[in-house]
Structure 1
Amino acid sequence: MTLPSKPEPAAFPQGLPLLLAFDLDGTLIRDGGQDLPEETAAALARLRALGVRVAIVTGRDLPPRGVSSRAGFDAVATNNGGRVHFGAELRTSARFGPGDLEAVLAHELDGARVVLFTEDDLYVQLPPGRDPEPWMLARQARPLAEAPHADVTKVGFWHPDVAGFAARLRASHPHLVVTGGQPPYPEFLTVTPTGAHKAAALTLIAEGLGIPLERTVAFGDSDNDEVMLELAGYAVQVGTLPLLARHADTQLAGYGAVGAYLDALAGRLAARATGEAAGRP
């Protein structure tokens, strides 16, 4: 998917309604983390109390409980946007068709770690002599050969040559969504079904919450966030990945700076609300 550069930085949406959509790893929390920084959690609570809507749009298939339970998100999109929940309601869940999944699994990456995700389970293929990782054990991963191919929602690869495989797959199956294989994840690749990307998730979430896209603010740090940052009314790049710079309206140094940024936003919205209540323009 080729995206144009923004001609000039957009203005931050003023007042409500407002939707903030966050990538998770490297953006809202540290990469691989399990909980929100205290400053970020407090700022999100302030924003929600002011009427701001908030959502996660992550590549993970399950957000950590320490994040979901503390932030009270209005919507959660997982699998790079392929699965979207509004509270307990599952709004959409993309799955591979048989031909597409077979093409993905014909990867020719000798010694790769491969993980297939379904709605409820995961299935792994590991190189000989390699033990399952703790998170795989915690999720009770089963052998890849047992995976129900009709229910696969995401495939992940770990291998030094995932970039080469990504290029081949994009050429042969351009309708699939292929992310990773480049900084900040040069040896990790994610493949999701047609339409399972973060821009689609942001569109669905905004529509479901009744918020125009021009009043959405997206936060992201890596290549799978690119389409979301381009689509949102305002884009906040977290980190310094050059790929995202052309889409960013503002940039934060890293996930540790997000809390202060959100707290300042809450302060501005609170001051605006106070002024409106007092009849000031």
Structure 2
Amino acid sequence: MRARLPADLPLLLAFDLDGTLIPDQGREVPGPTAEALSRLRALGVRLAIITGRDTPPRAVREAVQPDAIATNNGGRVEIGGQLHAEAQFTPAELEAVLAHELEDARIAVFTADGLYVDLPPGHAPEPWMQARGYRPLAEAPREGILKVGFYHPGVADFAARLRESHPHLVLTGAQPPYSEFLTVTPVGAHKGAALTLIAQALGLSLERTVAFGDSDNDQAMLELAGYAVQLGTLPLLAPHAHEQLAGPEALGAYLHELADRLEGRG
């Protein structure tokens, strides 16, 4: 029997960012979505952001006012603004991840408060790299690393090799819709684990969670949530979704409808 969307409290809503809560590479929550989230907060709904980014934009934080934020694909979890859990590579794992065969790949290495980038000759940094104030990869520490990203047409082959040699690491991307982008995070650093930690910290069962996502790194979160809403039509996620929305532009109306239902139970 397929689960039904809960229409009473307690309730935790967990959102991916890009392609879900905001348009891809966006920096603001659309107005209708922000208005619906404000209604839901006032009703007592708990809110979480669970993203592959290393930090949500300030405007997004202000619009959502989340009870919890998980970044780096779930590897770093904050509850009420305080660090709750953080997964880091061991030096040996980091060495294996960086021992790649991707000639002229762009590589980004993330710590909790730093970004280190290796750009091939002739490649300009992305705007988000410039905004973060990146430093050369050669200056990156060998401890405290939370996430490594690769940008290269050959990431799928590298991902297959790394999965074979280090199956405990978490790999996302290297397939549609991110065929040339691979993210690697430490063992246990995935969105499903983050959703579980957040629900436990807020005193909720997973049955009282609703997860929203659009890409392969959301799969674990959608699998574990009591109710799963897919944004878009990625075939990989369809078997795990109870419901589908066209994209971020449809989310506001959906959340307003949920708020209407909760108010009707009051």
Instruction: Give the TM-score range, shorter chain.
Output: over 0.9
Matched, 1:36 2:36: no
**Amino acid paired to 2:10:** P
How far residue 14 of structure 1 moved from its aligned partner, in angstroms, is 3.1
How far residue 261 of structure 1 moved from its aligned partner, in angstroms, is 0.3
**Amino acid paired to 2:211:** A
> Residue 55 of structure 1 aligns with which residue?
48
**Amino acid paired to 2:99:** A
> Residue 104 of structure 1 aligns with which residue?
97
Q: 1:111-136, CA deviations, whole angstroms, 9 ceiling, x for partnerless residues?
A: 10000000101000011121222221
> Residue 255 of structure 2 aligns with which residue?
262
Q: Which runs of 5+ in 1 are unaligned?
A: 1-7, 274-281
> Residue 141 of structure 2 aligns with which residue?
148
8 Å CA contact 2:7, 2:261 repeated in 1: no
1:201 pairs, out of 194, 202, 217, with 194
> Residue 278 of structure 1 aligns with which residue?
none
Matched, 1:158 2:121: no
1:167 pairs, out of 156, 160, 163, with 160
Give aligned-pair identity as a percent.
69
Higher mean displacement: 60-69 or 132-141:
132-141
| Distance of 1:229 and 1:153 partners within structure 2 | 22
8 Å CA contact 1:220, 1:238 repeated in 2: yes
Q: 1:132-191, CA deviations, whole angstroms, 9 ceiling, x for partnerless residues?
A: 222212211111010011111100010001111111111110100000011111111100
> Residue 239 of structure 1 aligns with which residue?
232
1:235 aligned counterpart, secondary structure: strand
How far residue 9 of structure 1 moved from its aligned partner, in angstroms, is 2.4
2:47 aligned counterpart, secondary structure: strand
8 Å CA contact 1:116, 1:144 repeated in 2: yes
Matched, 1:117 2:149: no
Matched, 1:85 2:69: no
Matched, 1:220 2:220: no
| Distance of 1:241 and 1:249 partners within structure 2 | 14
Q: CA RMSD in A?
A: 0.8
| Distance of 2:7 and 2:43 partners within structure 1 | 13
> Residue 24 of structure 1 aligns with which residue?
17
How far residue 220 of structure 1 moved from its aligned partner, in angstroms, is 0.3
> Residue 252 of structure 1 aligns with which residue?
245
Q: What TM-score, normalized to structure 1?
A: 0.93
Q: What TM-score, normalized to structure 2?
A: 0.99
| Distance of 1:128 and 1:272 partners within structure 2 | 60
| Distance of 1:221 and 1:167 partners within structure 2 | 23
Q: 1:211-254, CA deviations, whole angstroms, 9 ceiling, x for partnerless residues?
A: 11101000000000000000000000000000000000000011
How far residue 271 of structure 1 moved from its aligned partner, in angstroms, is 0.8
1:191 aligned counterpart, secondary structure: strand
1:217 aligned counterpart, secondary structure: strand
How far residue 23 of structure 1 moved from its aligned partner, in angstroms, is 0.4
1:242 aligned counterpart, secondary structure: coil
1:151 aligned counterpart, secondary structure: coil
Q: 1:178-214, CA deviations, whole angstroms, 9 ceiling, x for partnerless residues?
A: 0001111111110000100001000000001111110
2:158 aligned counterpart, secondary structure: helix
> Residue 203 of structure 2 aligns with which residue?
210
8 Å CA contact 2:7, 2:258 repeated in 1: no
